[in-house]
Amino acid sequence: MAQLYFRYGTMNSGKSIEVLRVAHNYEEQGKKVLLFTPAIDDRYGVGTVASRVGIQREAIKVDADTDMLAITAAHSPSCVIVDEAQFLNREQVLNLTRIVDELNIPVLCYGLRTDFVGNLFEGSLALFSWADKIEEIKTICWYCEKKALMNMRLKDNTPVFEGEQIQIGGNESYLPVCRKCYVRLKQGLPPLKPRS
């Protein structure tokens, strides 16, 4: 029976490489995969899923008007995979549930849980509400050995705690940090244990 999965993690937790690995595993078995990615994420080009380790592939770009249900119905894949799912809107997430429930096709969504100030994205909130299975992809804090929970935004290598919710960027703009280091840095204190 098909299910809707939400696999979330902080920046730099390996979500995109997991997307690429899962797609490869399906295709290696001769199964068709539809890979979607929001058009707003243009770090490696619109419609491209890329990992920091240098692997990338083309995907179907998703904007506010993209009907993933109709596209999926037209292609009848074995699986649908969505990268950067936090950028989806609620209606798109509800259409993913229809892919699962009406077309009996599993949907695997990968994305961030929260933004740089700890607020849920619209897509993440909808996925937490509607997904059959929720799984965390873990990584460690950039500064200490604790589990990273927060996406700390940087400007000129300095943490920032105000601004627009969405700012596309990679390691130059975000670091995965634990809650304790995040709070300390917000208070102007040094993180727990800087890397040497």
pLDDT tens profile 82-140: 999 999 999 999 999 999 999 999 999 999 999 999 999 999 999 999 999 999 999 99
Query: Residues 6 or more apart from 125 whose CB is under 8 A from it?
Result: 90
Which stretches of the chain are assigned E, i.e. beta strand? Answer: 4-8, 33-38, 48-50, 56-58, 60-62, 79-82, 107-111, 133-136, 150-155, 158-160, 174-177
Residues 94 and 50: their CA atoms lie apart, in Å, by: 26
Point out which residues pair with 14 in neighbouring strands.
none
User: How confident is residue 163, by pLDDT bands cut at 50, 70 and 90?
Assistant: confident
Torsion angle of the four alpha carbons 99, 102, 103, 107, in this order, in degrees rounded to the nearest 10: 30
Residues 96 and 12: their CA atoms lie apart, in Å, by: 25
Domain coordinates in residue numbering, the chain = 4-136
CATH of 4-136, one of 3.30.160.60, 3.60.150.10, 3.40.390.10, 3.40.50.300: 3.40.50.300
Which pTM value belongs to this model?
Answer: 0.91
Catalytic residues: 84
